[in-house]
Chains A and B, each alone.
Chain A
Amino acid sequence: MVAEVGYGRERVRHVEQGTATQGGRLSEVRWVAWRSLKKLTRNPILLFFSLFMPLIWLVLFSQTFGNVFSGAARAQLPYDYVAVLLPGIAVMTAIQSAAQSGFGMVADIETGFMDKFFVAPIRRSSVLIGKLVADGLRMAGQAGIILLIAYAMTLLAGWRIPFATGLPGALVIMALAAAFGVAFSGLSNAVALKTKNTEATMMVSFTLTFPLLFMSTAMLPKPSLPQWVRDFSVINPVSYVADAARALVLTGWEWSAIGSAFAACIVFGALLNGWAVLAFRAQGK
Chain B
Amino acid sequence: MGSLKRVEPGPQAPANLPRATRSSGASPAPRGAPIIEVRDLVKVYGGGNGRRKQEEVRAVDGVSFTVHEGEFFGFLGPNGAGKSTIIKVIATLLGGTSGAVRVAGMDVATQGPAIRRIIGYTGQSVGVDGELTGRENLTLIGHLYHMPTDLIESRVEELLGVLELREAADRQANTYSGGMRRRLDLGAGLVHHPRILFLDEPTTGLDPHTRNGVWDYLRKLHRDERMTIFLTTQYLEEADRLCDRLAIIDRGKLVAEGSPAALKAGIGADVVTIRLPRDEGFEANRARALQVVQKVRGVRKATAFDEGVSVHAEDGGAALLEVMRLLDAERVPVQQVAVARPTLDEVFLQHTGRAMRVEEVKPMSSAGFGQRRR
A residues neighboring B (CB under 8 Å): 1, 4-11, 13-14, 17, 19-23, 27-28, 31, 34-35, 38-39, 42-43, 109-122, 124, 196, 281-285
Bound Cα distance from A119 to B141, whole angstroms: 10
Bound Cα distance from A7 to B145, whole angstroms: 10
Contacts A34-B140, A111-B126; A7 near B151 (Cβ below 8 A): yes
Closest 4 CB pairs of A and B: A8-B193, A23-B146, A112-B127, A112-B125
Does B218 have its Cβ within 8 Å of any Cβ on chain A?
Answer: no
| Among B129, B363, B366, contact of A35 (Cβ-Cβ < 8 Å) | B129
Residues A7 and B129 in contact, CB atoms below 8 Å apart:
no
Q: List 6 A-B contacts (CB under 8 A).
A: A5-B118, A8-B193, A14-B151, A111-B126, A111-B129, A118-B372
> Closest approach, in angstroms, between the C-beta of B43 and any C-beta of chain A?
11
Residues A114 and B369 in contact, CB atoms below 8 Å apart:
yes
Residues B368 and A7 in contact, CB atoms below 8 Å apart:
no
Residue of B nearest to A20 (CB): B146
Residues B129 and A283 in contact, CB atoms below 8 Å apart:
no
Residue of B nearest to A116 (CB): B127
Residues B144 and A38 in contact, CB atoms below 8 Å apart:
no
Which residues of the partner chain A approach B141 to less than 8 Å between Cβ atoms? 116, 120
Residues B146 and A38 in contact, CB atoms below 8 Å apart:
no
Does B121 have its Cβ within 8 Å of any Cβ on chain A?
Answer: yes
Which residues of the partner chain A approach B370 to less than 8 Å between Cβ atoms? 115, 118, 283-284
Residues A42 and B131 in contact, CB atoms below 8 Å apart:
yes
Residues B117 and A5 in contact, CB atoms below 8 Å apart:
yes
| Among A5, A6, A115, A121, contact of B368 (Cβ-Cβ < 8 Å) | A115
Does B123 have its Cβ within 8 Å of any Cβ on chain A?
Answer: yes
Residues A39 and B131 in contact, CB atoms below 8 Å apart:
yes
Residues B94 and A121 in contact, CB atoms below 8 Å apart:
no
Residue of A nearest to B94 (CB): A284
Which residues of the partner chain A approach B6 to less than 8 Å between Cβ atoms? none
| Among B114, B143, B372, contact of A1 (Cβ-Cβ < 8 Å) | B114
- B222-235 near A? 1/0 per residue, CB < 8 Å: 00010000000000
Residues B129 and A113 in contact, CB atoms below 8 Å apart:
yes
Residues B116 and A121 in contact, CB atoms below 8 Å apart:
yes
| Among A11, A20, A112, contact of B126 (Cβ-Cβ < 8 Å) | A112
Residues B193 and A116 in contact, CB atoms below 8 Å apart:
no
Residue of B nearest to A39 (CB): B131
Residues A121 and B148 in contact, CB atoms below 8 Å apart:
no
Secondary structure dominating the interface of B: loop
- B96-139 near A? 1/0 per residue, CB < 8 Å: 00000000100000000110111111011111111110001000
Does B95 have its Cβ within 8 Å of any Cβ on chain A?
Answer: yes
| Among B129, B145, B363, B369, contact of A120 (Cβ-Cβ < 8 Å) | B145
> Closest approach, in angstroms, between the C-beta of A52 and any C-beta of chain B?
21
Residue of A nearest to B48 (CB): A285
Most chain A CB neighbours (cut-off 10 Å) among B94, B148, B195 = B148
Most chain B CB neighbours (cut-off 10 Å) among A4, A23, A111, A116 = A116
Does B42 have its Cβ within 8 Å of any Cβ on chain A?
Answer: no
Does B21 have its Cβ within 8 Å of any Cβ on chain A?
Answer: no
> Closest approach, in angstroms, between the C-beta of B119 and any C-beta of chain A?
7
Secondary structure dominating the interface of A: helix
Most chain A CB neighbours (cut-off 10 Å) among B132, B144, B370 = B144
Contacts A10-B193, A14-B151, A21-B117; A282 near B93 (Cβ below 8 A): no
> Closest approach, in angstroms, between the C-beta of A273 and any C-beta of chain B?
19
Residues A121 and B372 in contact, CB atoms below 8 Å apart:
no
Residues B368 and A28 in contact, CB atoms below 8 Å apart:
no
> Closest approach, in angstroms, between the C-beta of B226 and any C-beta of chain A?
10
Residues B136 and A38 in contact, CB atoms below 8 Å apart:
yes
Does B365 have its Cβ within 8 Å of any Cβ on chain A?
Answer: yes
Bound Cα distance from A9 to B155, whole angstroms: 11
Which residues of the partner chain B approach A121 to less than 8 Å between Cβ atoms? 113-114, 116-117, 144-146
> Closest approach, in angstroms, between the C-beta of B113 and any C-beta of chain A?
5
Residue of B nearest to A9 (CB): B193
Contacts A42-B131, A109-B365; A119 near B95 (Cβ below 8 A): no
Which residues of the partner chain A approach B130 to less than 8 Å between Cβ atoms? 111
Residues B146 and A21 in contact, CB atoms below 8 Å apart:
yes
Bound Cα distance from A114 to B131, whole angstroms: 15
> Closest approach, in angstroms, between the C-beta of A156 and any C-beta of chain B?
36
Contacts A7-B193, A43-B131; A124 near B113 (Cβ below 8 A): no
Bound Cα distance from A119 to B371, whole angstroms: 11
Residues A31 and B143 in contact, CB atoms below 8 Å apart:
yes
Does B83 have its Cβ within 8 Å of any Cβ on chain A?
Answer: no
Given contacts A19-B147, A35-B129, A121-B146, 12 further A-B contacts (CB under 8 A): A4-B114, A5-B118, A7-B193, A35-B132, A109-B366, A111-B127, A112-B124, A113-B128, A115-B368, A118-B372, A120-B116, A121-B117
Which residues of the partner chain A approach B121 to less than 8 Å between Cβ atoms? 115, 119
Which residues of the partner chain A approach B113 to less than 8 Å between Cβ atoms? 121
> Closest approach, in angstroms, between the C-beta of A133 and any C-beta of chain B?
15
Residues B144 and A284 in contact, CB atoms below 8 Å apart:
no
> Closest approach, in angstroms, between the C-beta of B263 and any C-beta of chain A?
30
Residues A42 and B172 in contact, CB atoms below 8 Å apart:
yes
| Among A4, A10, A115, contact of B369 (Cβ-Cβ < 8 Å) | A115
- B35-56 near A? 1/0 per residue, CB < 8 Å: 0000000000000000000000
Which residues of the partner chain A approach B93 to less than 8 Å between Cβ atoms? 115, 118-119, 284
Residues A19 and B126 in contact, CB atoms below 8 Å apart:
no
Residues B146 and A19 in contact, CB atoms below 8 Å apart:
yes
Most chain B CB neighbours (cut-off 10 Å) among A6, A14, A35, A119 = A119
Contacts A113-B129, A121-B145; A196 near B116 (Cβ below 8 A): no
| Among A4, A5, A285, contact of B371 (Cβ-Cβ < 8 Å) | A285
